[in-house]
Amino acid sequence: MLKKLFYIGIIPLLIASCTTPKNLYIWNNYDQNSYDYLKSLDEESLAKFEATLKELIEGTPRFKRDIKSKVAPGICADYGYFLLKKGNREDAIKMFKQEIVLYPESKLFIDRILKKLEDENS
């Protein structure tokens, strides 16, 4: 009887897990925090959004073959952008370069930013 109940419970669960698409990336509260910052553009919402980006970068295991372990597109570069705005140029450049490592198609765009930073410095 217990076995029967177990199967009744497990089969719909298995079916449900087969029909829900797998996510490629981890997002946590990205949408809401991105919106809150976009709407208010204040220090508080920026701090919250930056923390979300940092969490996504540091909390996502990289260098694994599994595509799901990758940080989502744009996250590293956007985090670099906020670091740059705060004057942390060195770490910002690291983040920009990390974006190219993860997503080579960003190279043309990110190289433009890096070139601009170089020009400003010289």
Partner 1 sequence: MKIVKYLYIFISVIILSSCAATNLKSEAYKDLYNEKAVSVLIMPPINKSTHVEAKEYFYSTLNHEIAEDGYYVFPQFLMMDVLKKESAYDSELFVDRDDLSIFKESFGADLILFTTIHDWKKNHIGGKINVDIEYTIKSSKNSNILYHRRGDISVNTSINVSGGGLAGALISIAATAINTSKTKYVNVARATNLYTLESLPKGKYHYNYLKDGSEQVTVKDNQSKTIPLDYKRKQNSF
CB closer to partner 1, 23 vs 121: 23
Q: Which parts of the chain fold into alpha helices (H)?
A: 2-19, 30-40, 43-59, 75-85, 89-102, 107-121
Q: 12-51 mask for partner 1 (x: CB under 8 A)?
A: ------xxxxxxxx-x--xxx-xx--xx------------
Pick from 72, 94, 97, 114: which binds partner 1 (CB under 8 A)?
72
Does 115 contact partner 1 by CB under 8 A? no
For residue 59, what are the CA distances in angstroms to 9, 27, 72, 91?
33, 11, 12, 17
Q: Which is nearer to partner 1, 1 or 16 (CB)?
A: 16
Q: Minimal CA–CA distance to 51: which of 32, 68, 66, 64?
A: 32
Q: By the 8 A CB rule, do 79 and 57 touch?
A: yes
Q: How far is the CB of 20 from partner 1 (least distance, A)?
A: 6
Residues that bind partner 1 (CB under 8 A): 18-25, 27, 30-32, 34-35, 38-39, 67, 70, 72-78, 80-82, 99, 103, 105-109, 112-113
